[in-house]
């Protein structure tokens, strides 16, 4: 069972409001070319997603949850004892995807075709990977699975004892907010089109549901982060013929099925904050 210090609805609303303000300010900076300038200046290593989510972590997570509400890392899923298992499983997953993609490349073409992007835009690919790992996946998993999903479930537990209903309602509530946070960016790029709304509903929302279910099943937020990273930035070594995301989903389902066996590797008592100190003086 996931454990966390319980917050109130005001804190949950403040977290989302601060996040939304940061996103809007980021989009303004993007429109003025500031974000692109930083990306170009770094040769692609400073990816836009890293810039945005670093500010989101600093303001919404650190500012609201840690400084204001005195949350510790374990309260939103950052339990260091669970990190080794996530790293091992994450590496096995990535290697397995590469082996399957390489084999598929050989079957389809008679040779193993390496992705040319690694020779033409290697810094950009590395920047994307860093941005997803320490930016998007970190903030979104901490905020919308580690924090809001768990908080909504704690609130709903006071209303109903039906476990399926608790999970369903908490997933819908938390991932609706997750989807709403993406609206400004989608509207800026696509406008209020049917395609944009479809993308929001069936891409962003459903991905949030999948990540939420994975977290509830594994209780390992680091593992969900790795799945999120590989889903957004596959970093395939070979030209893809099967689709790295399709392989990832299959492997994630397998891992989720056998996760109770893997949990014995985790140190449940090592609830030490990975990013934040145990006590914070303001």
Q: What is the pLDDT of residue 172?
A: 96
Average pLDDT (139-157) is 96
Q: Which of 217, 238, 262, 256 is nearest to 85 (CA)?
A: 262
Domain ranges of the chain: 9-265
| Three-class DSSP category at 8 | coil
pLDDT in tens, 227-265: 999 888 777 888 877 888 888 989 999 999 999 888 777
138 pLDDT higher than 80: yes
Asked whether 204 and 179 are in contact (CB, 8 A), the reply is yes
Of 2-11, 40-49, 57-66, 84-93, give the lowest mean pLDDT range.
40-49
Q: Is the pLDDT of residue 270 over 50?
A: no
CA distances (Å), 121 to each of 67, 70, 245, in order? Answer: 39, 42, 21
pLDDT for res 211? 96
pLDDT 10s digits, 76-117: 999 988 999 999 999 999 999 989 988 888 888 888 888 777
Residue 48 has pLDDT above 60, yes or no: yes
pLDDT at 282 over 60: no
Mean pLDDT of 182-204: 76
- From the number of C-beta atoms within 10 Å of its C-beta (0-12, 13-18, 19+), residue 228 rates as buried
Q: Pick from 235, 255, 223: which is nearest to 77 by CA?
A: 223
pLDDT in tens, 108-120: 888 888 877 777 7
Residue predicted with more confidence, 165 or 38: 165
Distance CA 151, CA 10 (A): 12
pLDDT, averaged across the chain: 86
What does the pLDDT look like over 207-229, one tens digit per residue? 999 999 999 999 999 999 999 99
Residue 281 has pLDDT above 70, yes or no: no
Distance CA 169, CA 212 (A): 12
Share of the chain above pLDDT 70, in %: 92
Three-class SS state of 190? helix
């Amino acid at each position: 069972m996931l454990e966390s210090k319980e917050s109130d609805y005001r804190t949950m609303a403040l977290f989302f409001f601060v996040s939304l303000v940061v996103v809007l300010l980021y989009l303004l900076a993007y429109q003025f070319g500031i974000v692109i300038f930083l990306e170009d200046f770094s040769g692609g290593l400073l990816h836009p997603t890293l810039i945005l989510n670093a500010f989101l972590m600093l303001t919404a997570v650190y500012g609201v949850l840690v400084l204001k509400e005195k949350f510790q890392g374990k309260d939103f899923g950052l339990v260091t004892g669970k990190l080794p298992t996530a790293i091992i499983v994450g590496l096995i997953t990535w290697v397995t995807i590469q082996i399957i993609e390489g084999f598929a490349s050989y079957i389809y073409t008679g040779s193993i075709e390496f992705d040319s992007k690694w020779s033409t835009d290697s810094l950009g690919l590395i920047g994307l990977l860093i941005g997803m790992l320490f930016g998007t996946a970190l903030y979104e998993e901490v905020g919308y699975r580690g924090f809001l999903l768990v908080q909504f479930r704690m609130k709903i537990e006071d209303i109903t004892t039906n476990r399926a209903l608790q999970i369903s309602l908490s997933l819908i509530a938390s991932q609706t907010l997750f989807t709403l946070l993406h609206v400004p960016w989608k509207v800026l790029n696509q406008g209020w089109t049917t395609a944009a709304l479809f993308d929001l509903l069936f891409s962003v929302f459903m991905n949030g549901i999948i990540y939420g279910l994975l977290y509830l099943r594994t209780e390992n937020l680091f593992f969900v982060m790795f799945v999120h990273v590989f889903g957004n930035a596959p970093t395939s070594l070979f030209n893809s013929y099967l689709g790295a995301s399709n392989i990832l989903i299959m492997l994630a389902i397998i891992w989720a099925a056998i996760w109770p066996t893997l949990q014995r590797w985790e140190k449940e008592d090592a609830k030490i904050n990975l990013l934040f100190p145990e006590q914070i003086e303001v």
